[in-house]
């Protein structure tokens, strides 16, 4: 009787081998899929990290700028404000606004005005309210400096520019929402605007020279009717006497003597 190998003995081992091979292949496919997903989502992940980092850094620089300004460290406040400029897509007006405010604290008024005007160009909506208030205050101080130097005409012109800046604030700046967005929560924006406009008008009037009154020419008194008659009689009498004198002399040279 010939010996044969029973098929039942090898079938389970083949099944286990095929199952293991399939599992390994499946695992390799999953790893490849995960790797490609990771590669594909890498830009999004980096963008998300950049976004979070930018938001955090923006708040950090803003807080540092405000803290330094309160401590009268105007150079530090300006430096922190410049840190807000890089890739500031969210509130681009804030970097020049904080820098301009810090420069005003350091009495660098011309540079401060330039930064605040840059901020005004970038501001939208209710953002312009705080910018216009600070810009008006800076130009007012420039007018005060010109007045202290004896330049009354230049001071009056600057006061007029500051008044224009504040008077062009949109009506929405009087709303509660604008107050909530104010850069100084302790400042009533509407009251600040009214006080500023009142001061500017008063200072502008003080620097405007009064119009010189033209001296009125004194009118010569007109002679009365009696005086005119008297002068007429004298003229006639003089003419008669002259004619008599010429007759006695036997004629003259032919020219009348001037009176």
- Tokens 């010189």 sit on residue: 212
User: Does residue 104 surpass a pLDDT of 70?
Assistant: yes
pLDDT at position 183 is 72
Q: Which two tokens stand for residue 257?
A: 């003597």
The pLDDT mean for the chain works out to 75
What's this model's pTM, rounded to 2 decimal places?
0.61
pLDDT at residue 82 greater than cutoff 70 = yes
- Write out the two tokens for 185: 């929560």
pLDDT at 132 over 90: yes
pLDDT of residue 176: 84
| Band of pLDDT at residue 184, cut at 50, 70 and 90 | confident
Looking up tokens 């009125």, which residue turns up?
A: 216
Confidence label for 241 from pLDDT (cuts 50, 70 and 90): low
Structure tokens at 236: 């006639």
The dihedral of CA 92, 93, 94, 99: what is its sign? positive
- Looking at residue 151, what is its pLDDT? 92
User: Between 57 and 101, whose confidence is greater?
Assistant: 101
Distance CA 199, CA 83 (A): 35
- Model confidence pLDDT, tens digit, residues 27-47: 777 887 877 776 777 676 666
Work out the pLDDT band at 55, boundaries 50, 70, 90: low
For residues 7 and 153, the model is more confident at 153
For residue 162, give both structure tokens: 């500051």
Total Cβ atoms within 10 A of residue 121: 12
242 or 32, greater pLDDT: 32
Token pair recorded at residue 211:
């119009």
Residue 258: what pLDDT? 32
d(CA 220, CA 187): 65
Q: What span, in angstroms and rounded, lies between the C-alpha atoms of 205 and 159?
A: 10
Rounded to 10 degrees, the C-alpha dihedral 81/87/92/97 comes to: 10
Domain spans of the chain, in order of start: 33-109, 124-208
């Amino acid at each position: 009787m010939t010996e044969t190998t029973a098929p039942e003995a090898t079938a389970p081992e083949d099944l286990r081998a095929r199952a293991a091979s399939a599992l390994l292949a499946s695992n390799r496919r999953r790893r490849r899929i995960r790797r490609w997903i990771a590669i594909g989502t890498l830009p999004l992940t980096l963008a998300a990290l950049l976004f979070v980092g930018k938001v955090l850094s923006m708040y950090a620089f803003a807080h540092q700028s405000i803290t330094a300004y309160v401590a009268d460290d105007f150079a530090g406040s300006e430096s922190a404000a410049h840190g807000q400029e890089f890739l500031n897509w969210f509130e681009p007006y804030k970097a020049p606004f904080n820098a301009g405010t810090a420069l005003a604290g350091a009495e660098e008024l011309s540079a401060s005005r330039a930064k605040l005007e840059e901020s005004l160009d970038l501001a939208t909506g209710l953002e312009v309210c705080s910018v216009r208030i600070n810009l008006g205050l800076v130009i007012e101080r420039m007018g005060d400096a010109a007045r202290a130097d004896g330049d009354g005409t230049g001071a009056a012109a600057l006061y007029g520019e500051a008044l224009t800046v504040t008077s062009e604030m949109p009506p929405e700046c009087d709303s509660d929402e604008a107050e909530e967005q104010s850069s100084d929560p302790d400042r009533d924006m509407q009251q600040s605007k009214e006080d500023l406009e009142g001061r500017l008008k008063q200072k502008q009037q003080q620097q405007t020279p009064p119009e010189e009154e033209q001296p009125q020419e004194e009118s010569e008194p007109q002679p009365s009717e009696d005086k005119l008659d008297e002068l007429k009689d004298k003229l006639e009498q003089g003419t008669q006497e002259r004619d008599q004198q010429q007759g006695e002399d036997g004629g003259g040279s032919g020219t009348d003597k001037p009176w």
